[in-house]
Structure 1
Amino acid sequence: MEAFAELVAEGTVGIVGASNHWIWRVERARRLATAAGLPGYEVLQYHHSYLRMRTDMPSLRSVDGNLGVVSGDHLSYLRETPDLALVAYSPLLGGAYVRSDKPLDPEHDHPGTPARLAALREVAADTGATLNQVVLAWLIGAEVPVIPLVGASSVAQLNESLAAVDLELTVEQRTKLDAAT
């Protein structure tokens, strides 16, 4: 944290963030930084999307599960720590929501996925928006707001993603999406 503090002091770094750490490690680092009078993490970056991945399966980074995916622990921590921002990478699952040639990862193969996909399709039909736009609007307008990190390989994809900022889901639509398990 001292090295980050030096970079912040010289203006090279504006804010400090972490990606893909266990929440207990994030909290420990923030506590140590505060005790030492140093800048702590202000941004957390994790994989997060409407469809949920299993986090209990061993991964390349940890035998204890997939630490790079937002779980209930992350959301609970962020809800109680409003000075932290959550940036979600791969919120559109590399095109898996809209492209039949991009299947979901095996970590999405669980009983909750079909119900959540059905709810997503219903809300997209209700709003006249694309599946991707509904996913992004769901993230942006969540109780724990998310900054989605999206990529685009065409101007049309960029415009589609940008239009999600103006899509406001109703309470009923958000409840339908959140209740799907």
Structure 2
Amino acid sequence: MTTVAGTFRIGGDLEVGRLGFGAMHLPTGPGADRAAAIAVARLAVDLGVTLIDTAHLYGGGANEELLAEALHPYADGLLITTKVGVARSADTGEWGLDGRPEVLRDQVEQALRRLRVERIELLQLHRVDPATPLADQLGALRDLRDEGKVARIGLSEVSVDELSLARETVDIASVQNRYNLLDREHEPVLAACAAAGTAFLPWRPVAHGAAGANTVVAEVAAELGATPTQVSLAWLLGRSPVVVPIPGTADPVHLAENVAAARLNLSAPQRARLDALTA
């Protein structure tokens, strides 16, 4: 995919286009909704997306199964990245953080089966479980990497201190934190990732509703003949070369609009106006 945004090498060697796709919103039930979800996943690849994000949490693995049904055998260069570390309680049925090594290992084994792969090229810890030592959580993932079941390890929703501590146990290839034009709480984490050349995958890359209602964003969108969402994604792509947004949608029209944002050029004055925005 040739775009203004270009590509990024996760972990220094895994090349992906800099605008990915978050599969969380794809419905996984039977019938017409499932068929439509499969069509959207396939359209993402047809439009040139090379990174698709999923997780065990999304339907307890149902989202992983959907992607495999839609896309396996996977096209050359297509990365399906998944996340582990959130589990459903057998007693209450509620989801909660669970970073115990045996749980992480079981979820990885399930992901390998559901995604129909022998190795997960990028596996991310969905959240740090405060009830389990971080070294134990990452040690389990490092062991899976050493066994050849995982190639690269990432984190999600971490602080700068947690990222630094994690690096004492294992190399960190990516960080997936909430971040967008109007929500820059994790700016220090992005800076740490940029300094280390670590991929930064912002989830919720668009402040839903708020971006369209923001006067400055709307003005820039009108100037470019684009949508506020496209402006928000283009701003992210220009924020740092390590940023790989993963906007999600179940709507094929919105998907095409999102992908087109990779070809949107913001002028220096336009970017300065957007940079000045706060939540």
- Provide TM-score, normalisation by structure 2: 0.46
Q: Aligned partners of 2:146 and 2:139: how far apart in 1?
A: 10
Identity %: 32
Asked whether 1:167 is paired with 2:264, we answer yes
Of 183, 198, 201, which residue of structure 2 is paired with 1:52?
183
Q: Aligned partners of 1:78 and 1:118: how far apart in 2?
A: 30
Asked whether 1:76 is paired with 2:207, we answer no
Amino acid at match of 2:204: S
Amino acid at match of 1:88: P
Aligned to 1:24: 161
Aligned residue pair count = 141
Deviation for aligned residue 1:89: 0.7
Aligned to 2:227: 130
Aligned CA-pair RMSD? 2.0
Aligned to 1:86: 200
Unaligned runs of 5+ in 1: 34-38, 54-68, 101-116
Deviation digits for residues 29-59 of structure 1 (CA, Å, limit 9, x no counterpart)? 10x22xxxxx421100111111126xxxxxx
Asked whether 1:12 is paired with 2:143, we answer no
Unaligned runs of 5+ in 2: 1-137
SS at match of 2:177: strand
SS at match of 1:141: helix
Q: Aligned partners of 1:95 and 1:164: how far apart in 2?
A: 17
Q: Aligned partners of 2:219 and 2:242: how far apart in 1?
A: 22
SS at match of 2:149: coil
Q: Classify 1:177/1:94 alpha carbon distance in 2 versus 1 (closer, same or farther; 3 Å).
A: closer
Q: Classify 1:141/1:44 alpha carbon distance in 2 versus 1 (closer, same or farther; 3 Å).
A: same
Specify which structure has the higher proportion of helix.
Answer: 1
Aligned to 2:67: none
Q: Classify 1:175/1:96 alpha carbon distance in 2 versus 1 (closer, same or farther; 3 Å).
A: closer
Deviation digits for residues 82-114 of structure 1 (CA, Å, limit 9, x no counterpart)? 2x111111112345544x8xxxxxxxxxxxxxx
- Contact 2:177 2:203 (C-alpha < 8 Å) held by counterparts: yes
Q: Aligned partners of 2:274 and 2:242: how far apart in 1?
A: 15
- Provide TM-score, normalisation by structure 1: 0.69
